[in-house]
Amino acid sequence: MDATTPSSDSAGSLCQSFRLPHWTLCLLATISLIFVVVAGLDVLETKRIRDTKSRGSQVVSAIERFRADNGRYPEPLMEIAPKYIPVILQPAWGLKQWRYATKNDAFSLTVDESAKSVDGDAHRLEFSARDRIWHLAD
């Protein structure tokens, strides 16, 4: 074997140079891979939340235009389509279904992360009509 051909025992040699058993290098590589995958999932989750907020903001604008024209909030939500919004795009995050409710002179638009959380740590993304912003709440 010449100097440019990698040795089949290069992992073992690397471990020996650091005085690590071969299984330790495999374990370290696996842990590193897990961190990379988890970080990638977090980026994907952040994008889904961002997309959901964008879609939800379009729905909120349509709800407000409906109210300006009709003096009331739509009931049901589908009343805004297609005049005020061509299609109500569903959320890209969580259960991927809007929950809409009206009460007195206000409305809420939310999406739940999951139907039920075993540890009680499920989140909800909700539009605050009072603050005019989206909140990620427990």
For residue range 19-41, list pLDDT tens digits in order: 666 667 677 777 766 666 555 55
Q: In sequence order, what are the residues at sequence separation of 6 or more whose Cβ sits closer than 8 angstroms to the Cβ of residue 47?
A: 92
Dist CA 75 CA 30 (whole Å): 52
Identity at 62, one-letter amino acid code = A
**pLDDT tens digits, residue range 96-114?**
999 999 988 889 999 998 8
Here the tokens at position 9 are 């025992």
Dist CA 11 CA 29 (whole Å): 11
CB 92 within 8 A of CB 48: yes
Between residues 94 and 11, the one the model is more confident about: 94
